[in-house]
Amino acid sequence: MRTPLRAKVDSTGTKLLPDVVSVILVVVLCVAAIPSGVLFVVFAPQGRVDLPISDGERIFEPILIGALVFFAAVGLIAMVRRRGTGHLLLTPDGFELVDVLFTQRGSWDNIDDVSDLAADKQVRHPVVLVMKDGKPVVIKNADGYAPNGAALYWLVRHYWLHPDNRVELVDGRAVARLRDQDFVTE
């Protein structure tokens, strides 16, 4: 299933948002994990859960499920505070990559290279912004923001290499360029 392109353009730049179906699934999973996990944590140690678990598991599993409930609650609170699971904002001056917990910002001038190879090989379709200070900023799943993750890579690379075209980021032409995959591969 292809990710639909969700973008918002205003005077600050082009904001790419993750697929709404993915966001809804993450929220539903977190919401479901919290009450069911709390019930398990309360009733499993008492032996009131109708599952074949040993005495050791009855002690250990509630700890694991409790940790899961904690992380689901933290994630849900962060999603509510950030009003979503994240976004990628490209502006004429730089970028802002926001996920559930962290925000990374940088300027185009501080980018040394744009690559599609991440040090972590478990990342699917990465866009790696190699900063001049040596620390990479990784867009971990470019497919989550655009129907074709490779097109997002070429979009970011295009605006990094062509500062004169960055005005397109505030007038909607960047979204058309991404949708049409209108890039010169360099």
Angle at 168 between CA 167 and CA 169, to 5 degrees: 90
pTM: 0.83
Model pLDDT for residues 1-12, shown as the tens digit of each residue: 567 889 999 999
| Domain locations in the chain as residue ranges | 20-82, 86-180
Per-residue CA distances from 169 to 89, 93, 111 (Å) = 9, 10, 17
Phi, psi of 99 (to 5 degrees): -120, -165
3-state secondary structure of 90: strand
Provide the 10 A C-beta neighbour count for residue 77: 12
Model pLDDT for residues 146-181, shown as the tens digit of each residue: 887 889 999 999 999 999 999 999 999 999 999 988
Model pLDDT for residues 9-33, shown as the tens digit of each residue: 999 999 999 988 888 999 999 999 9
Residue that wins the pLDDT comparison between 77 and 186: 77
Would you state the CATH architecture of domain 86-180? Roll (2.30)
